[in-house]
Amino acid sequence: MASSTRQALVAAKEAQTPLLASADLKFATELFAVSAALAESAQLRGILSDPSADADAKSKLSSSIFGKAVSAANLKFVNGLFGLRWSSGRDLVEAVETLAIRAAASVAAKNKELDTVEAQIFAFRHAVDSDSELQFALANKSASDEAKAKLVKDLLGKSVSDAAELLIRSAVLGAGRRRVYVVLERFGKQVSEFAERLVATVSVAAPISKAQVEKLESVLTAKYHHPIRINLVIDPELIGGVRVQLTGDIIDGSLSNRLQKAKLQLA
């Protein structure tokens, strides 16, 4: 990410923060809609991210395109984003998407559902990653957005939170050329960043107790000097032990890994 984009994103978050106190999911939904429109039109994002373009002209163009889809207060915020200095149109798209995720996470936090939202995004991501047919269905370019949205809703059922449903649906519909699994992972990480904690993926051969999960969270928090949330994956192929993936580190204490090392030593 270029320096100008980093600075613009910092300014955008600062401008958004006071709005989050009273924001609802409509704010996040409208930001996702703006991001999607920008992603679909290279010409539009090129004009609105051009620092040399006239500010009034950009504001008028934005209002003519988004005026009916975005509330007046949110349109004012969005027009402010177009006045910042972005390194590229793609950076602007990603920034608006990031702000939408941040808005949804804020609503979840106010509703005391942030843990639930993180868990539901991870569960859906894990389901996608482990099912090749589902991956194909969600990435199928010939399928309409309406069909994909219906598929997501059917898969999630009625027990999922509104914030998680919005984030998962937006990740699927906004994936474009990106793998859905990768986009869901990015969304989940940004929700966790809003909660100011790291996420560890812990794989075990069989389910472990809540007390064991909490103890592992405590150990990892002490090791990394940062609050940790654990996403648990059951993988019988590990045979026993634990594998931890966190911030690029892999701590593999699984029995299958130890057996493999033993075979290599005997070879």
Q: Partners of 229 in the beta sheet?
A: 199
Q: What is the pLDDT of residues 68-119, one digit of tens each?
A: 889 999 999 999 999 999 999 999 999 999 999 999 999 999 998 998 999 9
In terms of residues, how long is the chain? 267
> Does 88 lie in the same domain as 118?
no
Report which of 34, 68, 49 is spatially closest to residue 170, judged by C-alpha positions: 34
> Does 67 lie in the same domain as 45?
yes
Domain count, the chain: 3
> Does 68 lie in the same domain as 22?
yes
Residue type, 98: T
**What is the DSSP code string of 113-144?**
-HHHHHHHHHHHHHHHHT-HHHHHHHH-TTS-
Q: What is the pLDDT of residues 5-63, one digit of tens each?
A: 999 999 999 999 999 988 999 999 999 999 999 999 999 999 999 988 998 999 999 99
Give the list of residues 6+ apart from residue 54 with CB closer than 8 angstroms, or none: none
> Does 257 lie in the same domain as 218?
yes
